[in-house]
Amino acid sequence: MSTPLPKIAWIGLGIMGSPMSENLLKAGFSVTGYTLEQDKLDRLAAAGGTAAGSIAEAVEDADVIVTMVPASPQVEAIAYGPDGILENARQGALLIDMSSITPQTSVDLAKNAAAKGIRVLDAPVSGGEAGAIEAVLSIMVGGDQADFDSAKPILEALGKTIVLCGPHGSGQTVKAANQLIVAVNIQACAEAVVFLEKSGVNLRAALDVLGGGLAGSTVLTRKKDNFLNRDFKPGFRIDLHHKDMGIVTDAARNVGAALPVGAVVAQLVASLRAQGDGGLDHSALLRSVERLSGSEV
């Protein structure tokens, strides 16, 4: 007799959370979701999930609770307090936080949850909206091996590269490094695009050949059409990357790691946000380079 699949509560149905929860439904899991936007709850219900009216209602019978919200304050808001996860989830439940937050927030959450008999993994992801839709996310996990092992079937329905990186907070530390690499890579691609165009080179041909050599990257592959079409519909917003660059620069300072290039790119991300582009995709770093070059379209 096969073991029944765990019942899942999903909190946070945004750009990433909605397709990820739908992939769990496709894999046969029962998903009860809660978020603040009714249209997102309607979308979950249309996909075969159950919409809850509160966090408490969503988590009360769940074996596993997955959270995907923007930042540390939101994680703390949904986790703590009389209406939060820790007061309403059953003992023995597993909380998988897939938000991108500070490592210390994850460490504190794990400690406070343990006092309630709730297990925790921090499991932030990389791959953006496309990776979420295609279920090919990279998932970097912090926590105990036994909890990671029990969560593996769920994570395998969401991503392709799933690695336990160390104790609580380790997943968030690796995610911070990921966001550093991605931001610097996008900035380099944006500078190359402006350089190529100002030089009169066919941009599509140039990006095709660059993508096949050492300069090729997932960033270039995923964002090539954004650059070519100036399509900055958010797959991952500048606002969120600004938050993440704050996390990595602060964490690096705490451990004594110098980030000379990362610090510059963090300022460029902050500048783009200050100019009103925070709601655009992070590939919109191209707009900043164009402005600096006097060639904004």
- What residues pair up with 7 in beta bridges, in sequence order? 30
The DSSP annotation for the chain comes to: -PPPPPEEEEE--STTHHHHHHHHHHTT-EEEEE-S-HHHHHHHHHTT-EE-SSHHHHHTT-SEEEE--SSHHHHHHHHSSTTSHHHHSPTT-EEEE-S---HHHHHHHHHHHHTTT-EEEE--EESHHHHHHHT-EEEEEES-HHHHHHHHHHHHTTEEEEEEEESTTHHHHHHHHHHHHHHHHHHHHHHHHHHHHHTT--HHHHHHHHHTSTT--HHHHHHHHHHHHT----SSBHHHHHHHHHHHHHHHHHHT---HHHHHHHHHHHHHIIIIITTSBGGGHHHHHHHHHT---
Whether 55 and 95 have beta carbons less than 8 Å apart is answered as no
Q: Which of 111, 116, 160, 175 is catalytic?
A: 175
State how far the Cα of 37 lies from the Cα of 14, in Å rounded to an integer: 9
State how far the Cα of 221 lies from the Cα of 66, in Å rounded to an integer: 29
In the residue annotation, 152 being an active-site residue is answered as no
State how far the Cα of 109 lies from the Cα of 226, in Å rounded to an integer: 37
Of residues 261, 239, 262, 238, the one with CA closest to residue 249: 262
State how far the Cα of 50 lies from the Cα of 53, in Å rounded to an integer: 10
Q: Which of the residues are catalytic?
A: 175
